[in-house]
Amino acid sequence: MIIAVDGPTASGKGTIARALAAHFGLPVLDTGLLYRAVGYQTQLGHGDPDNAADALAACDFPDTLLDDPALRYESTGGLASRVSIHPAVRKALFQRQVDFANQPGGAVLDGRDIGTVIAPHADAKLFVTASPEERARRRHAEMRARGVDVTYDAVLADVHARDARDTGRADAPLLRADDALLLDNSEMDINEAIAAAIAFVEERVRRPS
Ligand code: C5P
């Protein structure tokens, strides 16, 4: 079984994808991490993330980079969203994601274009979202808990900037697949959102569309 989980930044899609993977006993791939690795590697090499050739060269990053805590930084998310605009970068990362999705037994993948580009044949697709204000509120609280000194307004501005880049790009924009469940969790806590996601996938398995 292949489960595609897409959605904007700070929507809870990563947590939901990991919970689905644990529940159904499937491997999970956070595809955002691949774009983060490319963004970070571009910076390490003193390249320009807005330059397609620099970003493409960074697609050759070593696998050990995927364990680097720096990939989780907010600033690395910004770099990822800049390098992910380049079609050559998306093409370079394409096969790795497709192979992960199509492994025997299936998989869960979370990202922006899983249900539309990487695994359009997925058995269950979810589009996880929440209002920009709620996503900024959650991210702000999480950053403050980690001791990062940042204002809510700055986080909200970053959420809007990331959304605009992810939905506005020409190649594989962030888009809900027609057959994806819209899971708006603005008014839910994370446990309610996970329960709704599991119930949806179980229903899809019982009654494939
Ligand atoms: O999900 P995460 O915030 O880690 O993703 C970082 C950035 O990588 C996103 O803002 C998006 O621009 C890009 N991305 C993408 N396609 C994916 C996953 C992430 O373009 N499948």
DSSP secondary structure code for residue 178 in this structure: T
For the chain, strand residue ranges (E) read 2-6, 28-30, 107-111, 124-129, 181-184
Cβ neighbors of 177 (< 8 A, separation 6 or more) are 4, 6, 115, 116, 120, 125, 127
Per the domain annotation, does 207 fall within a domain? Answer: no
DSSP 23-36: HHT--EEETHHHHH
DSSP secondary structure code for residue 151 in this structure: -
For residues 39 and 55, what is the distance between their CA atoms, to the nearest angstrom? 7
Q: What is the CA radius of gyration of the chain?
A: 17
pLDDT of residue 207: 82
Closest CA to 136 of 6, 2, 11: 11
DSSP 106-150: -EEEEESSIIIII-TT-SEEEEEE--HHHHHHHHHHHHHHTT---
Residue nearest to atom 4 of ligand 1 (CA): 32
Per the domain annotation, does 209 fall within a domain? Answer: no
pLDDT of residue 79: 95
pLDDT of residue 190: 93
Pocket test for ligand 1, best of 112, 114, 135 (most atoms within 8 A of CB): 112
Residue nearest to atom 2 of ligand 1 (CA): 32
Tens place of pLDDT for every residue, the chain, 209 residues? 999 999 999 999 999 999 999 999 999 999 999 999 999 999 999 999 999 999 999 999 999 999 999 999 889 999 999 999 999 999 999 999 999 999 999 999 999 999 999 999 999 999 999 999 999 999 999 999 999 999 999 999 999 999 998 899 888 889 999 999 999 999 999 999 999 999 999 999 888 76
Instruction: Domain of residue 158: give its range.
Output: 2-202
CATH number of domain containing 39? 3.40.50.300
Ligand 1: list residues with CB < 6 Å: 9, 31-32, 35-36, 77, 80-81, 84, 111-113, 162, 166
Q: What are the counts of helices (DSSP H) followed by strands (DSSP E) for the chain? A: 8, 5
Are the beta carbons of 34 and 59 closer than 8 angstroms?
A: no
Per the domain annotation, does 106 fall within a domain? Answer: yes
pLDDT of residue 49: 98
pLDDT of residue 33: 98
Per the domain annotation, does 49 fall within a domain? Answer: yes
Per the domain annotation, does 6 fall within a domain? Answer: yes
Q: In what order do the strands lie in the sheet with 107-111?
A: 28-30, 107-111, 2-6, 124-129, 181-184
pLDDT of residue 126: 98
Per the domain annotation, does 133 fall within a domain? Answer: yes
Count structural domains, the chain.
1
Q: What angle do CA 74, 39, 98 make, to 5 degrees?
A: 105
pLDDT of residue 169: 87
For residues 14 and 34, what is the distance between their CA atoms, to the nearest angstrom? 14
Per the domain annotation, does 208 fall within a domain? Answer: no
Per the domain annotation, does 105 fall within a domain? Answer: yes
Distance of CA 25 from the midpoint of ligand 1 (Å): 24
